[in-house]
Structure 1
Amino acid sequence: MVQLYESARKKQPPQKPLTLTIDELDHSGTGVCSTHQPVVFVEGALPGEEVRARVYERKKRFWRATVEQVLKPGAKRIAPFCPHFSQCGGCQHQHIAQLPMLEYKQQAVDQLLNKVGGVTALNWQAPLSGSDQGYRRKVRLALDARTGKGKSSVHLGFRAQGSDKVVDISECKVLTPPLQQLLPDLRSLIKGLGCVRHIGHISLLDADNQLQLCLRLTRPFPEMDRQALKAFSQEHGCTVLLQTEAQEFEHLTSDHQFASYRPVDELSLDFRPTDFIQVNGSVNRAMIAQALNWLDIKPGDRVLDLFCGVGNFALPMAHQGAEVTGIEGVQVMVEQARANALKNSLQAEFLQADLGDEDALTQLTTQLGQIGKVVLDPARTGAANVMPWLSRLNPAQILYVSCNPATFARDMGQLVESGWQVDKIGLMDMFPNTAHTELMALFSR
């Protein structure tokens, strides 16, 4: 067999940092230098600033970089409130206050929707926002307890930006106060467990009815560690769960009740540890109130809630007298939504269907009948497959809740081409200090 000779690849010398002036921010809050070719997206930079930036990704049409030094800071730059900000990947934008960042994000989203969706002169509403600290009621902590090669310490916290490295945090001011108070003793507990290496990750929850600690295990815990967890539960008044499989949980405490939250004052929704809920309780309630108001929900309205989860939108609408059908792809969440309707003595129908499957959508058309109003709250991938079907369903109004402006712009373009118009639109600051940008838009024909 012939063996071809291949010369060793030459080591590329380290690239020198660039000196750039930032022109604007994109919809994630990342600085943009459009005068450089190709355009450079610079993390941690603000409009008008001159920065020294290190490029970490080069594409044909754009580069990505991170700030090494701010040479000429902008007037809106502020000092971060967290001591871990420069290393931790949990927050990206503590270098600018909340309201100025929302203004920049709205400008960027407006430009994006104009460019991709072909829509101008949007009717922007005031953004929904709350406190930028103490808001996060649910969080997953990463854990690094590997040993060997001189490494024997345990790191508990969040992953560094663009890295698998776990930043060991001593505090996190974006967590709700009860979770902040739990963190120091939790660190001591975890680092003292004998089988700490068999913990995949740790979830914390500040529900309306309980504090919850959930450990994802890769193998069963020994009795000594189980007793330590029980003692922690009793001392801090929290529920402790051990997760061994995707939907299998062992309660270490006597309290086996579901965690719950209130989307509106009159309702309480239960959820499992793996069910999706919004992490920002106050903005979630404001979002629901705005949805009810924009759609003008009244008794007798026929409403379809797509990607309905455990009933976050559907059940408040049913509470106002609407005839609601919720569609969700995950069967266990459909079952939980039905249980929540029963718990709150509400009439609502919940069905399981794959909303990315055209055959399933066709079957739903016959099953649903005439629908007057639609709410959809898809994942970051959006709902491209649903858009043509919605046009055929022909409701009077569509309320689209998006956690990704890029996929929303794509989906909006389909609706506009089918004759829909954007009546109103507004940002929602569900994750302050981060690159996440969420929005709500109302469409009509």
Structure 2
Amino acid sequence: MRRQSLGSGPPDVGVLHWTLASAVAGEVDSLAKHPKTEPPRPRPGDELSVTIDRLAYGGEAVGRHEGLVVFVTGAAPGETVRVRVRAVQRRHVEADVVAVEKASSERVNPRCIHFAQGCGGCSWQHVEEDAQLRAKSEAVRDSLERVGGLRDLPLRPIIAAPSPWHYRNKMEFAFHPDGLLGLHPRGAWNRILPLQECFLSPPSTVALVKAAQEFVRQEKLPLHDPRTHEGLLREMIVRQSRATGEIMVGIVTSPGRFEAAPAMAEHLASVDRNVVSVVRAIRASVNTAAPVQETVVMRGHDHITEVVGGLRFRIGIETFFQTNSAQAERLVALVRELADCSHGCLAMDVYCGVGMFALALAGAGAKVAGVELSEASIVAARANAAANGIANAYFYAGDARSVLPRVLAEHGNPRVLVLDPPRSGAGGKVMRRIARSDPDRIVYVSCNPTTLARDLQELQPFGYRISVVQPLDLFPQTYHVETVVALDRCGRHAPEERAFLSS
């Protein structure tokens, strides 16, 4: 998965609209098979009794009231709940649980106090793990069949996380002018829930957040106001290596003097002896997703080191890296297995980031060309290759649409092509360029099943067939699901192993 963050700013609105529209379309299609006389439409504030059918990709539970599709926050499959209508759309209603009238056997007590406060970090903490896994697997199947037009899917059982708690190696928190530091409630990007506990992050993260909040209050530091865009301190990022235990703390600020930086760095380092890096990341843009313009080391190093698949990776404050290190091990092993690169095989890694997949394939003997938009990530990928003694990996910075022709001209067509695009997907132009490069096998790593399905449609005219669909749970307690799809050119494997793109 690419560029997934937690709680630091507004979500990708385009992707959320795509996700909700896809879910609504599926429910409405289902209703269309059994048309009924349309009942009076509810209004915001009305209370309804709703029986929940399932969990939807996007985090909501889906139910019906008198034939009307209702998306409910905080419900579990199989239960009956009283809900209050929050919004009425043309094709569905959005609502919140007021009371559970008949509880589901899949409902559990949320572990974190912030879940009941609407924290945006988790969406399914009230649902048992097995039910979460089933919902994620069904989300993959539903998207590929309905959005992508696929049939006879070779869908493998989902790979569960080794632990559903304390798995995140990166967390992002926002400062608030009221002196608070924490996560945003769902859909409320101008409010903050001051962090008391978090069961997604390592325990050290909570202690560091509390220490930072104490320091900024004591020193009366100017905190960023998202409404006026004034104030110095904006966000705090905490990263921790699973392999080494090293911790990096990043303080994201607006431009300007930060005289308290040395004292704040010392204060944070005193909280945990594993803090080996405290950096300031300066961002001028009001957009929280914009890259930083400058990084200044406040204390220690400018990176920490993570180990995945036996390879060492330097992680900076803005480095994209899988946020579940334990599952990243399994993901790398799976991609290596599906790529099946023999010694000297030419492979290509599109959206390669800092080289996690590219270096794993190169370490197995393949010659690999990696392509990535971020220049900083390419610099890191080359450094990671050198640090691991790998000389058969080559990295190119630039947009995949424009860089791919040059890379193909230099290296030739790959036998295997791996891609791991952002949540928005690769898009038609990139997918068609990939297909025209004529690899024997394509391994697509996706964090969004709806955009995955859309991208796979682009391969239909080129004769690629799916041989493996493997979901993985990289983000327990949330609706997010990782999916790895392997596709082969027609004729490489037996037909019974393939799913065909329908016409």
Normalised to the residue count of structure 2, the TM-score between the two structures is 0.79
Give the direction of change, closer, same or farther, for the CA distance of 1:35–1:442 in structure 2 (3 Å limit). Answer: farther
- C-alpha deviation, 1:13, in angstroms: 8.0
Counterpart of 1:42 in structure 2 is: 72
CA-to-aligned-CA distance 1:196-234 (integer Å, 9 cap, x gap): 422111101112452111111224455456324324324
* CA displacement at 1:343 relative to structure 2: 1.3
Q: Secondary structure at the match of 2:390?
A: coil
Higher relative contact order (CA 8 A, sep 6+): 2
Secondary structure of the residue aligned to 2:458 is helix
> 1:211-270, CA deviations, whole angstroms, 9 ceiling, x for partnerless residues?
1111112244554563243243245332211122414122222x22522211212x1111
Q: Given the alignment, which residue of 390, 409, 417 partners 1:374?
A: 417
- C-alpha distance in 1, partners of 2:404/2:66? 46
Kindly state the Cα deviation for residue 377 of structure 1 after the two structures are TM-superposed.
Answer: 0.3
Trace 1:83-232 onto structure 2 (pairs within 5 A).
83-87=113-117, 88-128=119-159, 129-145=161-177, 153-164=178-189, 165-197=191-223, 198-207=232-241, 208-209=243-244, 210-221=246-257, 223-224=259-260, 226-232=262-268
Is 2:110 the counterpart of 1:80? Answer: yes
Counterparts of residues 253-332 of structure 1 (less than 5 Å)? 253=299, 255-265=300-310, 267-332=311-376
Tell me, yes or no, if structure 1 residue 414 matches structure 2 residue 454. no
Contact 1:195–1:221 at 8 Å: present in 2 too? no
State how far apart, in whole Å, the 1-side matches of 2:43 and 2:436 are: 57
Deviates more, 1:59-68 or 1:221-230: 221-230
C-alpha distance in 1, partners of 2:219/2:355? 38
DSSP 3-state at the match of 1:122: coil
- Map of 1:244 onto structure 2: 282
Runs of 4 or more off by more than 6 Å in structure 1? none
Flag structure 1 segments of 5+ consecutive residues without an equivalent. 1-11, 146-152
Q: Which residue of 1 aligns with 2:83?
A: 53
Specify whether residues 192 and 69 from structure 1 end up closer, same or farther in structure 2 by C-alpha distance, changes over 3 A only: same
2-structure distance, mates of 1:36, 1:317 = 54
Q: How many angstroms does 1:53 deviate by? A: 2.0
| SS in structure 2 of the partner of residue 325 of structure 1 | strand
* C-alpha distance in 2 between matches for 1:36 and 1:120: 32
Residues 42-64 of structure 1 show CA distances to partners (whole Å, capped at 9, x for unaligned) of 22222221112233333222232
Change (3 A) 1:130 1:202: same
CA distance in 2, matches of 1:93, 1:86: 11
Alignment of 1:340-359 (within 5 A): 340-347=384-391, 348-355=393-400, 357=401, 359=402
AA aligned opposite 2:108: I
Q: Give the whole-Å Cα distance in 2 for the aligned partners of 1:310 and 1:333.
A: 5
Report the residue type matching 2:217 in the other structure: K
Q: Does 1:401 align with 2:437?
A: no
Q: Is the 8 A contact 1:27 1:106 kept in 2?
A: no
Q: Could you tell me how far apart the structure 2 residues matched to 1:19 and 1:35 are?
A: 7
Alpha carbons 1:195, 1:225 under 8 Å: kept: no
Residues 85 and 91 in structure 1, CA contact (< 8 A), matched pair in contact too = yes
Distance 1:360 1:259 in 2: 30
**1:24-49 Cα distance to aligned partner (Å, 9 max, x none):** 22233421125655422222222221
Flag structure 2 segments of 5+ consecutive residues without an equivalent: 1-41, 224-231, 284-291, 490-503
State the Cα deviation string for residues 88-124 of structure 1 (Å, max 9, x = none): 1110101112222111221232122111222223222
8 Å Cα contact 1:82-1:172 kept in structure 2: yes
How far apart in 2 are the matches of 1:221 and 1:101? 47
Q: Given that residues 130 and 429 in structure 1 are in contact (C-alpha distance below 8 angstroms), is that contact kept between their aligned partners in structure 2?
A: no
- 1:436 is displaced (CA, Å) by 1.3
- Give the whole-Å Cα distance in 2 for the aligned partners of 1:18 and 1:257: 54
* Distance in 1 separating the partners of 2:215 and 2:434: 51
CA-to-aligned-CA distance 1:7-38 (integer Å, 9 cap, x gap): xxxxx985312221112222334211256554
Say whether the 8 Å CA contact 2:136–2:480 is kept in structure 1.
no
Deviations 1:142-181 (A, max 9, x none): 1212xxxxxxx42221100111211112111111233244
**What amino acid is the match of 1:264?**
G
Distance in 2 between residues matched to 1:313 and 1:230, nearest whole Å: 36
Letter in 2 for 1:201: E
> Does the 8 Å CA contact 1:41/1:63 hold for their aligned counterparts?
yes
SS of 1:303 mapped into structure 2: strand
Aligned-partner residue type, residue 227 of structure 1 = A
How does the TM-score come out when normalised to structure 1? 0.89
Aligned mate of 1:69, from 95, 99, 120: 99
Give, in whole Å, the separation in 2 of the partners of 1:37 and 1:226: 61
CA distance in 1, matches of 2:163, 2:364: 28
